[in-house]
Structure 1
Amino acid sequence: MAQIEEISDTTGTPGQQPTAHGWPAVAAVASATFTVVTSEMLPVGLLTPIGDALDVTGGTAGLTLTVTGLVGAVSAPLLTPLLGRFDRRTVLCALMAVQAVGNLLAAWSADFAVMTAARVLVGIGMGGVWAIAAGLAVRLVPPESVGPATSLVFGGIAVASVLGVPAGTYVGELLGWRAAFVTVGALALLVLIALAVLLPRLPAEQEVRLGGVLRLSGNPRVRRGLAVVALLVTGHFAAYTYVRPVLEEVSGASAGMIGVLLLVYGLAGVAGNFASGAGAARSPRATLLLISAVLAVTVALVPLLGGSVPAAGVLLAVWGLSYGGVSVSTQTWLLTSAPGAREGVSALFVGVFNGAIALGSLLGGLAADGIGTTAALWLGAGLAAAALTAAASGTSPDRTRAAGTPGD
């Protein structure tokens, strides 16, 4: 992705050459982002059995996602400055250990209080890994490969966003919801080993201050990009967190069929990630306008036209195709809006993104418990429409100047 490469190849330590293990190391970092985002969103496809086992309502069970998102939103901008002095390889390994402990504790939780504590740990690990991983590609590969390497790191996030939920649902149906958490916990341990083996030493390059991170929100393009992130992600998770009970109610899908439908959604989302990545490299605004419009219409149509399993499958495929591009498109918008401030703007992005996940699951739960499950989808559609308006306003970030050149 040319835009990402343009703003990512200027921050390495002078004289430092990328390691010969560059691409395997990049793959290990991408595996880390995949694992932590999968961990974050794992409860989405397991809300019904989690609620039954812990004796809570579906809306309350959705708080397992809310808690993790809130903690991730706070930990991302805080951990980046706090851990700035430490070797990045050591930090990532430590955060993956926290991630593994959180998932394994969730698997053995006897009540909702223990589950909540486990999800706090997952949020800490997730927020830290996501924020730190964003700035590593430039240190692992030669300058001409920074763009594709950065895309691969964020690809782990995008693929997790669309495949993590159906994969967890499938494991949960086969072996039980606790086995799904054990599986992701074990994956976190494997990724920890891969990071320790494949990453070179990565001492801190520059000090990142919390005040500097927060001041980036004063950039009008960054602020508008964050608003688009907040609206799109809040709307998506207000609806998607409760997609299982909606499918059960509207289309009459069985538990096994829901796993298939979510897999269709996930595969479409992977395709959407790569299609949107190419489009966002040329014009992040145009890509996000299309994504917002398609999401708003599709989510609104699920309660109206999703009365059969085939119809629901088609709508979920379109939903996945559009949402699959949200992460890479919004990240490209923000990186091209704040050249030379990759780590800072990424920390803001992670904070807002995860805060939106928490807010979306919370608002969706309130709507589902107070009005009905389909109300969560109407809410999500409305917020996606608001994102369309936000993306259309103001000046475009598409022609932001190269890294190292002062922006607006």
Structure 2
Amino acid sequence: MPQAARTGLPPLLNIIAVSAFAASLSSRALDPVLPHIAEDFAVGIATAASLAAVFAFTFAMVQPVLGAAADLFGKGRLVIVCLVLLGLSSLFGAFATSFPMLFASRILSGIGAGGIFPIAMGLASDMVAPDKRQVAIGRLLAGAMTGNLLGASASGLIGDFLGWRGVLAVLGVLVIAASLAVAIGLRGASLARPPSKMNLSLLRQGYATIFANPNAKICFTAVFIEGCCVLGVLPFIAAFLFELGEQRLAIAGLVIAGFAVGGLLYTLTVSRLLPRLKVRGMMIVGAALVGTQLAVVALGPRWQVQGISFIAMGCGFYMLHGCLQVFASELSEAARATALSLHSFFFFMGQTVGPIAYGFGIAYLGKLPTMFVAAAIMLALGPLCARLLRQLKPADARPGT
């Protein structure tokens, strides 16, 4: 029996997961090769890390616009257009002759990626009932984590042989191929067509409904903190390993890829963990795993130990983050893509601030105090979310839903 039938999830969800996979290839692909980019363009590692920050910042800034556009013009159509933009911008970056040109390519990539994963979550949420939504989102996360895993680990290997330009060239080709696969998979499906009515007044009502929900400020604040404390440290991992004498980019890629492996473990176990831990337990245990592993990495153990720590950290992160995504999907029914895009806006704003905050903290306080502060914040975040978030039906929910 097909897996989709066994889980009660629609087969079309697998096509949508392909878009999440393609988008996630780009998000961590440059992290392992940042030291070589810094060397080629004669810039510091903190400046090279701004490539991750600007990708996240652009991703965040386009969310309110793209989320609204998806609700107005059709989620499936927007996902395909954004995949094409992401692929072309990656190819553009591969031929960059200056750091500003590479910087500009990452801005375009951020715009493209910004219209893929959060909109894909909106598509998945439209397709399933709330009681199956966390498992459905877990399926999308499986695609995203596989992309993160290959993006980080393969980019280190490709970087050792073809350099960072080869990383971006291969990435661009793969994303373009994925856009064709998604376009074919969604052809004829109602998800690829715009809604029958496009009403700007309904969009305004959607924003009002979202921010009237008391869960909104908690969800958005929590994902901002997640992005800052957890994803913000990833651009520095290769440099941390260099300080320990590990110069191989492939090793940096493997360590960073451990985070994605942990995310995959979450997607494989969420359907069993959720009935046992419940939502509150998932948030508390997940945040505890993240906080403790940040502290372990701060102590600078061997790369093998750090790789294991990142696996545990990735699993814990998505235990918390997956719960927050479900709460965000229930902020509004009519404007679900807008709500999930706002969720991503705050998450990626955290990823924008994170590398800057880590860079400042490491420069003036040192690595150990900076990472210990981040660990303490994450340890506190899970219990706070578990206490403050409540299961609420959207104010604009249709009767019987």
| TM-score, with structure 1 as normaliser | 0.82
Find the counterpart in structure 1 of residue 296 from structure 2. Answer: 301
Deviation at 1:239, TM superposition (A): 2.0
Change (3 A) 1:71 1:265: closer
Deviations 1:317-340 (Å, cap 9, x if unpaired)? 322332243442321232345566
The answer to whether the 8 A contact 2:139-2:267 is kept is no
**Does residue 1:171 correspond to 2:171, yes or no?**
no
Instruction: Judge which range, 40-49 or 95-104, deviates more.
Output: 40-49
Q: Distance in 2 between matches of 1:349 and 1:105?
A: 29
Please give the residue correspondences for 1:303-318 in structure 2 after superposition, counting only pairs within 5 Å. 303-304=298-299, 306-318=300-312
How many equivalent residue pairs? 383
Answer yes or no: is 1:42 the counterpart of 2:32: no
Query: How big is each residue's C-alpha offset from its partner over 1:107-148, in whole Å with a ceiling of 9 and x where there is no partner?
Result: 111222111110111111111122322222366689998775
After superposition, the Cα gap between the structure-2 partners of 1:90 and 1:320, relative to the gap in structure 1 and judged at 3 Å, is closer
Provide structure 1 residue ranges, at least 5 long, that are not aligned to the other structure: 1-8, 10-17
Q: Of 351, 355, 358, which residue of structure 2 is paired with 1:357?
A: 351
Residues 264-317 of structure 1 show CA distances to partners (whole Å, capped at 9, x for unaligned) of 44323311343346545763332111111221121112232x433343333233
Structure 2: runs of 5+ lacking an equivalent: 1-7
Give the distance between the partners of 2:62 and 2:145, measured in 1 at CA: 20
Match of 2:193 among 198, 203, 227: 203
2-side partners of 1:217 and 1:228: how far apart? 15
Measured on the aligned residues, the alpha-carbon RMSD in Å equals 3.2
Looking at structure 1, the residues matched to 271 and 107 of structure 2 have their Cα atoms a distance apart, in angstroms, of 31
Query: 1 CA distance for matches of 2:28 and 2:143?
Result: 14
Among candidates 351, 360, 384, match of residue 366 of structure 1: 360
Q: Which residue among 226, 231, 234 is the counterpart of 2:228?
A: 234
Over 3 Å counting, the alpha-carbon distance change for 1:390 and 1:255 in structure 2 is: same
Match of 2:397 in 1: 404
Alignment partners' CA distance in 2, 1:334 and 1:260: 31
Q: 1:335: which partner in 2? A: 329
User: Which residue is 1:288 aligned to?
Assistant: 283
Q: Tell which deviates more after alignment, 283-292 or 376-385.
A: 376-385
Of 140-149 and 341-350, more deviation after overlay is shown by 140-149
Which position in structure 2 is the counterpart of 1:3? none
Aligned letter for 2:284?
Answer: L
Determine helix, strand or coil for the equivalent of 1:176. Answer: helix
Q: Deviations over 1:1-34 (max 9, x none)?
A: xxxxxxxx9xxxxxxxx9xxx62x4323212122
- Look up the match of 2:19: 32
Q: Distance in 2 between matches of 1:35 and 1:326?
A: 23
Alignment match of 2:239 (pick from 245, 254, 257): 245
Deviations 1:207-247 (A, max 9, x none): 46256336513322222122221112210023222111112
Q: Determine the C-alpha separation between the residues in 2 that align with 1:297 and 1:371.
A: 20
CA distance in 2, matches of 1:285, 1:152: 21
Amino acid at match of 1:42: A
By how many angstroms is 1:252 displaced? 4.4
Deviates more, 1:271-280 or 1:359-368: 271-280
CA distance in 2, matches of 1:89, 1:174: 37
What does residue 4 of structure 2 align with?
none
After TM superposition, the structure 1 = structure 2 runs for residues 56-75 of structure 1, keeping only pairs within 5 Å, are 56-75=43-62
* Correspondence for 1:108: 95
Distance 1:388 1:92, change over 3 A: closer
Match of 2:178 in 1: 191
- Greater Cα offset, 252-261 or 40-49: 252-261
TM-aligned CA distance change 1:302 to 1:253, over 3 Å: farther
Q: Quick one: percent identity of the two aligned structures? A: 19
Match in the other structure for 2:142: 155
- Partner of residue 137 from structure 1, selected from 119, 124, 139: 124
TM-score by length of 2: 0.83
Supply the distance in 2 between the matched residues of 1:123 and 1:254 (Cα, whole angstroms).
Answer: 27
